[in-house]
Structure 1
Amino acid sequence: MRVGVPIFLFLAAAGFHTALTASLESAEKEDTFGEEVGLEQLSDLQKRDQEEFEAAQMSEAVQDENTEEENDTQEEDMTDRDGNVEADQHESESDEDVDGMRQKREQLEANVEEADETTNLGSPRLPG
């Protein structure tokens, strides 16, 4: 019996070692498989994310172009409006200048007529 106990312990330890090794190898395979599947899934997710990111950038670029075109159009409209306002102001000023000149001319003519009348009244007429 003394010989049987160490053999029994040896066999038990060997069995325990084999079971433990098999368990660890199984766990490693699962981890490796899980990592590979996880990497594939992660790779797919990264590809989708990259595609979505690129699509978002493209739509932003299109929106930026549209915004720039709208801004350019608005700036052109503003420039046209400013030019029209300046032209209108210039025309108004010209009209005001013409009106002012007419008033001055009318005043001068009125003054000349008054001066003529005053001169005619003050000087005797010579019979002709």
Structure 2
Amino acid sequence: MRVGVPIFLFLAAAGFHTALTASLESAEKEDTFVGLEQLSNLQKRDQEEFEAAQMSATDDAHSEDVQYLEAVQDENTEEENDTLEEGMTDRDGNVEADQHESESDEDVDCMRQKREHLEANVEEADETTNLAEVE
């Protein structure tokens, strides 16, 4: 019986140690899982903020492009009007006025082509933005 008591105490201590170690490992795994879950949530939030900032930057760039194209179109329209007014004034003149008028007509045609080209670019930019928003 004297030999049995120390063996019993040794086995009890070993069992207690094993149970305590398993408990600590379990708690550590839970902490790791909770930490990973929080990290995952932070990554998701960061990704959403990044995408929102990217969309905002795209919208800002698009609006700047549209404003620039509208300004260029307004300038072209003003130049066309000035050219047409000059052509009307010169037409009442002499033969040189007829030559100038044909040149101004070519300029007007050139301006119209530029305006149509700019409008096509604006439409293309709108389509690109719409496609980016869909993605």
* TM-score normalized with structure 1 length: 0.33
**Residue matched to 2:29:** 29
Residues 2, 108 of structure 1: alpha-carbon distance in 2 compared, 3 angstrom cutoff: closer
Range that drifts further, 45-54 or 60-69: 60-69
**Structure 1 runs of 4+ with >6 Å offset:** 60-121
1:10 equivalent in alignment to 2:10: yes
Range that drifts further, 61-70 or 107-116: 107-116
SS in 2 for 1:83: coil
SS in 1 for 2:92: helix
Range that drifts further, 112-121 or 84-93: 112-121
Name stretches of at least 5 consecutive residues in structure 1 with no aligned partner.
122-128
Cα distance in 1 for partners of 2:130, 2:44 equals 107
- 1:64-111 per-position Cα deviation (integer Å, ceiling 9, x unaligned): 999999999999999999999999999999999999999999999999
Relative contact order (C-alpha < 8 Å, sep 6+): which is higher? 2
Larger Rg: 1
Q: Residue 42 of structure 1: CA displacement?
A: 3.1
Residues 25, 64 of structure 1: alpha-carbon distance in 2 compared, 3 angstrom cutoff: farther
Q: What pairs up with 1:112-123 in 2 under 5 angstroms?
A: none
Percentage identity across aligned positions?
Answer: 96
Cα distance in 1 for partners of 2:36, 2:130 equals 118
**Residue matched to 2:112:** 102
CA RMSD, 1 decimal: 27.0
**Residue matched to 1:91:** 101
Candidates 53, 57, 63, aligned match of 2:54:
57
Q: Residue 12 of structure 1: CA displacement?
A: 1.2
Cα distance in 2 for partners of 1:11, 1:115 equals 78
Name stretches of at least 5 consecutive residues in structure 2 with no aligned partner.
56-69
What is the total number of aligned residue pairs between the two structures? Answer: 117
Range that drifts further, 4-13 or 107-116: 107-116
- 1:16-59 per-position Cα deviation (integer Å, ceiling 9, x unaligned): 111112112212221232xxx5435533443443433443465x
